[in-house]
Structure 1
């Protein structure tokens, strides 16, 4: 059934405009371009005599767009060549522009957009009312233009279809795996259990108040809370009671969940929390736990003086810091809906019935373990009749539109065939449902070329701002009416789903998904820790959320007088008087080196490696992510910037030599300057006046968490540069002023990123006029962020395929 539909989908994907030559511009090319860009010269790797004019050839089309841009801005022909007459220049631009516009219009609506694995997981969980991780069961999605929801990069294969079937089966099993409502229980535990007795008095201290004090991060001896496990999958309330021992600041701990078996493959750090010093307090968290998952409380950054340890001194005499555990409770599962949504959708009035486990008496204990999979059935008085009603409702919900009889028929036939063989209503319904969740109608956003209707807009808007399938209110709304579309956009911007939008959008736009791609060198950056990493990520997401919620302008993106900080980030940024782990809006003090997205530690980390920074990498990041300039790849045979093997004493001198090459200078005079402006920030976003080194430079007299640092301070940082326009700056502060003066360009880039993410396709030549219109109208409101999102949703680009 599925394979029969795939050829039609692939045919639609490959539909495209026919080749169209551009003879009218040939005289202009012959006179002004072919001296440098013919088959012999191929300057810059461009041979215009062989460049395809087929609108289907995306790479060739992009090169023609670049030709158009270079000629339009006067960069080509170069200044030393004879300038074209104004009339022939206008004719060339008009002719080529019209051709590029026509070809892009014909091509942009042909690519089908598949749900990426994150969207698939969100959709299937919302549909069935479960909370399962199917992302790990699916192949990683391709990326284009920074995002992983772009149709052209979301291919599909036989292996992927098999994985989708496995993922659908996993989710449906979760929805149909409990025949009775789980009982909510309250579990209480302390660290003082039989297995921990030997640690008390040896490495741990038991105080008179009954608390157990630990002095390390809980790796060994383990601070996994004993005898505390989720009895079934669901939401739980976790309460941790304790305090910081022999310390002035609150004690920080990470909350880790998992099965804690010998592989530790499913262990996940969920969040960071703190308890006050010397005063008992309780932290409460609501979180989802899989059946059998436990809790690990891991203290962070506990310090102790050199030469001392709990074992050597004895826990009662050890002078170092510790965390006092008093009690941990786990309440749940917290059931708000029973039966689960998936059961009601797939079974209706039919009830699940657990089958005998079939184990011999000597092994019956296995059926009581959390990992044992019980078998179920469901009884129906009218299997065929019930299946038709239930499948119609299920297919309607899955396809995000009213299902027709023709839509339901293949799944009804599949049910009949399966029921005839198994005589089991549950098995037959599961089989039909799995097929529906692997069908093109579920996996793809079906958007025909042209104006989108109400239901198509509902899906586009929901996957843009909620990152999942549309809810009932969206599906019922007349979204083709601009005022209704605006009201629903505003509703989503005010909902909890905004967090999902900000997370997925910033992961692609700012490349935050690569935040953990590199691990900073421990000798060079001993202050780096997991809490800083977590705070980095949350800072940028909170900042973007603040821009949207307070409707702040693009100017704040470039340079703000505030930052979203907690105590860990504030210490990293050397900003005083910030306490606690919760991020909040903090006004920056005079002279601060922070403000705006470019000073975020997350951005500075993803644009560096674990050892050093590169103005080229950071320059590319600024050009692509903030200015909307996509640097050209180096021509074939041109080497990249290598380590210092040619006598240059600094990377700046090395890059100066690199730019002396005429081939390299054209791009690097655009790429490098913004990267130089960021050189005062190291690989983890800390401020520096001098570069760090392992073995060269001046020794540093500094201790971090009680340990003496080993790095040295090398040559001073030079953050000055000159833009390709000739504008000079001495540091990032001055570069920000230049960016503020041209914030329309930044607003245009953000608009293009939003539209790319919202539509699942690259913005092309025919979109330019509409984007310029959005930016022009937005300028009157100082490019305010929330208004910009509304303008994007109201645009013809968003409302059309």
Structure 2
């Protein structure tokens, strides 16, 4: 029997046995007799060394030798006792992975029998897991900067300022598919200048010292040139739930008012010239309204209170004289809206006459909304940020200003730094406060201290401390406050709140019952939307959808409202699985999705009305369900004017199965779209010709069947039956000979490989949680997580729980190079 790692480390429990707070020798005897709850104590792995050697010699040595070097790899590079010594673990994990997936031995070689294969896999996996259990290795813990999403969320939660600061900071680089990877989050002088500028602006806004001079904030409404939706202009629909029910067109945006005062809301109406970017003063409408300091949703919309002839004439760029309409234009009601309520209205003509051409009864639309102000400032207002910051108010001004300043700054810095403060932390911030207070006053001093907090390395960087004089390579449990910071960064992309920090400082956070309760609390909190936006947005390529531009000639229906509905369907689908603790297998196959009227029409699904997306049960023959039935995925894996079998197949292999094909060589020829005689080739015919090349076949044999099964969906995710003038055939077969047909057949193939999908999903989520790429030493932890979740069909919360209780998430190894950490201190 092996002694659990937490006993070997005496005082600090490993995640594998954190249910029992391991104590010194007094507990050791009990463990040896009873075992450790929740810990799998492995005996010798199944199979034998001799059988494993015989398997490799029989099925692998013919190709992977010094002469043939198949895959640029030979068995001479490794030894069967490597695992026991912790050597070449990357190679052995790769052997395990390709053998489990059936990729090796290749289809051209005799396959091992079931018992023979199972014996080898049991031996190899058991050996790797046994080594990992006896030799804990949580992997690298690199110094990590907050990326711009995390920075924005942290500022929001610290100061209660509802501002999106991401666009004010440069975009972050990505690694391993995510932009929160420590190794690629570099720091430059330009970036620090931006942090200084953003911190200065937001600290003064939060305190109530924003600019009192009027300035204009502009919002340009999205226009993409696609007009018709079943004969109805797209801008003739209600565009936002923040606008009145009887409204159409227009737009709404979030505006932060720096002070209580008057603000001017104005908009530019479409002039119906051939250049919509023109801003003509005669088409400007405006209204002054009082606004309180803080965040508002400000908009302009048309009221749908009359019936118009909505047939749109063709726009003509001509100087010819155009007859004027015989009837006078009908006036429309234009409403100014703040926080969902009408604050004023005006009348505008239903069309505009231009000397160059005319359109009769052309519904108006907005090009731009501006808010200017503040005018006649009346005060800083009672904002959530001021309430949160000034929890201490000086009673004997100015005698106890310093007392309150110290309490305010200390509370903010405690949460911002994610740990208890030292005296030097507090004194540095108080020094900044006193300098600004002497020059500009009490609130300016608080603002200056907040700015210093927001650019402090203790806020900008996520780093953890090692025990004093600990030798490089020593593994130790991170502190509870460091664990709380990791947990908040993972689930919220933000700071731990007061409840999480309090439990951590009391040493109770990692108690199983407490941790379970906190996990559920955090996942139902709105801050967990960060997982939808940051994890799912990158895992599923949803961020790419914003930049996808479908060919307007091939797909005139693809417009901004449709693209937004596609994206929201996948986001809400992910959030539903997350919050309801559904099985992650729903990502593969489900009988529900989220639709609004526009997207339902795109899918050919009846009975859904209105612009809001809601949960919809799918009919068995809907040809939807799961991620691969969603237009967002089908669109981002297509080109602008046609589908891509290769892109779709590669996406499934890489994102759902963690088995990406190798990158294509640089000299791969383009697919031939027609024969020499000019006959158009469909996707299947193009790929058959292309993959005849042996250099291409090995990759395409894995990707193409997946992509071909999805060919009944066009490049924007609509169902179709024809391609290149011929019916689409979606029957195909996997490399191992399994035949299937279409989406439903592909879903069944993926469900048969559910354990591989669960492992792939866990790897992706664990990469995101740790902020680093996974290594061979992490794979035994991934296997432990999916084994534990398998019994209950892989519920989402169990996958997250497994990550939160894993060694890489709980422990840290003292690095061999501590120069970076020393410099930070």
Structure 1 position 394 matched with structure 2 position 425: no
Correspondence list, 1:9-48, <5 A? 42-46=69-73
In 2 relative to 1, CA 335–734 (structure 1 residues): closer, same or farther, beyond 3 Å? farther
Q: Label 1:218 to 1:546 Cα distance change in 2 as closer, same or farther (>3 A).
A: farther
Shift of 1:784: 3.1
Q: 1:309 to 1:740 in 2, by over 3 A?
A: farther
Q: Using the TM superposition, give the Cα deviation of residue 344 of structure 1 relative to its aligned residue in structure 2, in angstroms.
A: 2.6
Aligned to 1:286: 339
- Structure 1 residue 403 and structure 2 residue 433: aligned? no
How far apart are 1:335 and its partner, in Å? 5.9
Q: In structure 2, which of residues 581, 597, 603 is the aligned counterpart of residue 567 of structure 1? A: 597
Q: Tell me the equivalent position of 2:608.
A: 578
Q: Could you tell me which of 458, 472, 483 is aligned with 1:441?
A: 458
Residue number among 217, 222, 226 corresponding to 2:286 in the alignment: 226
Of 700, 705, 709, the match for 1:677: 709
Aligned to 1:173: 204
| 8 Å contact from structure 1 (residues 235, 335) kept in 2 | no
Are 2:389 and 2:408, in contact at CA under 8 Å, matched by a contact in 1? no
2:513 corresponds to: 483
Shift of 1:401: 1.8
Render the CA deviation track for 1:261-291: whole Å, top value 9, x for unaligned: xxxxxxxxxxxxxxxxx99999977389xxx
Residues 172 and 93 (structure 1), Cα distance of their counterparts in 2 relative to 1, 3 Å cut: same
Measured after TM superposition, the shift of residue 532 of structure 1 is 0.4
Q: Would you say 1:533 and 2:529 are equivalent positions? A: no
The answer to whether the 8 A contact 2:535-2:768 is kept is yes
SS at match of 2:477: coil
- Matched with 1:360 is none
Q: SS of 1:108's equivalent?
A: coil
What residue in structure 2 maps to residue 696 of structure 1?
Answer: none
Distance 1:380 1:104 in 2: 60
* Unaligned runs of at least 5 residues, structure 2: 1-49, 213-256, 311-330, 466-474, 813-825
Aligned equivalents of 1:622, 1:334: Cα separation in 2 = 53
Q: Contact 1:128–1:341 (CA<8 Å) still a contact in 2? A: no
Contact (CA 8 Å) 1:246, 1:321: kept in 2 or not? no
Deviations 1:706-754 (A, max 9, x none): xxxxxxx644333222112321112112212222333333333333333
Q: How does 1:290-369 map to 2 (within 5 A)?
A: 318=360, 337=383, 340=386, 344=390, 349=394
Q: Residues 465 and 72 of structure 1: is their aligned pair in 2 closer, same or farther, counting only changes over 3 Å?
A: closer
**Deviation of residue 548 (structure 1)?**
3.1
SS of alignment partner, residue 633 of structure 1 = coil
Q: Is the 8 A contact 1:615 1:676 kept in 2?
A: yes
Q: Secondary structure at the match of 2:715?
A: coil
Tell which has more relative contact order, 1 or 2 (C-alpha 8 A, sep 6+): 2
The verdict on how the C-alpha distance between 1:760 and 1:295 changes in structure 2, with shifts beyond 3 A counting, is farther
CA distance in structure 2 between the aligned counterparts of 1:749 and 1:687, rounded to whole angstroms = 29
Structure 1 counterpart of 2:150: 119
- Shift of the 98–641 alpha-carbon distance from structure 1 to 2, 3 Å rule, reads farther
Going from structure 1 to structure 2, the CA distance change for 1:493 and 1:77 (only over 3 Å counts) comes to: closer
- Corresponding position of 1:514: 544
The separation in 1 between residues aligned to 2:371 and 2:101, in whole angstroms, is 67
Note the 1:764-775 alignment, pairs <5 A: 764-775=775-786
Alignment partners' CA distance in 2, 1:298 and 1:576 = 36
Partner of 1:639: 668
Q: Which runs of 5+ in 1 are unaligned?
A: 1-23, 205-213, 250-277, 289-293, 352-378, 692-712
| Structure-2 residue corresponding to 1:236 | 296
Does the C-alpha gap of structure 1 residues 103 and 133 become closer, same or farther in structure 2, counting only changes over 3 Å?
farther
Deviation at 1:623, TM superposition (A): 1.5
2:656 is aligned with 1:614: no
**Kept in 1: contact 2:262–2:289 (CA 8 A):** no
- Is residue 532–residue 574 contact of structure 2 (8 Å, CA) maintained in 1? yes
Give 1:565 shift: 1.0
Superposed CA deviations along residues 686-707 of structure 1, whole A, max 9, x for unmatched, are: 111123xxxxxxxxxxxxxxxx
1:558 is matched with 588
CA distance in 2, matches of 1:37, 1:344: 69
1:101–1:765 Cα contact (<8 Å) kept: no
Look up the SS of the partner of 1:564 in the other structure. strand
Question: What per-residue deviation string (whole Å, max 9, x for no partner) do you get for residues 522-552 of structure 1?
Answer: 1000111111011111111122222234433
TM-score by length of 1: 0.69
Offset of residue 403 of structure 1? 0.5
Label 1:184 to 1:51 Cα distance change in 2 as closer, same or farther (>3 A). farther
Secondary structure, in 3 states, of the residue corresponding to 1:155?
A: coil
Q: Distance in 2 between matches of 1:503 and 1:722?
A: 35
Kindly indicate whether the alpha-carbon contact (under 8 Å) linking 2:139 and 2:777 is maintained by their aligned counterparts in 1: no
String of CA shifts for 1:465-516, please: whole Å, max 9, x gaps: 2222121111112211111111111112222223333222210221101112
The answer to whether the 8 A contact 1:65-1:100 is kept is no
The 1:386/1:576 distance shift into structure 2, 3 A limit, reads: closer
Cα 1:309–1:717 change in 2 (3 A) is farther
Contact 2:132–2:780 under 8 Å retained in 1: no
Q: Which residue of 2 aligns with 1:66?
A: 94
Task: Name the structure 2 match of 1:473.
Answer: 499
User: 1:92/1:675 Cα in 2 relative to 1: closer, same or farther (>3 Å)?
Assistant: same
CA contact (8 A) 2:477 2:810 kept: yes
TM-superposition CA deviations, 1:385-444 (whole Å, max 9, x none): 76655543332121022201133344455667x569968766666555434322332122
Q: Secondary structure at the match of 1:782?
A: coil
Per-residue deviation, 1:113: 2.8
| 1:338/1:474 CA distance change after superposition, 3 Å | closer
Distance of aligned partners of 1:423 and 1:47 in 2 relative to their CA distance in 1, 3 Å threshold: farther
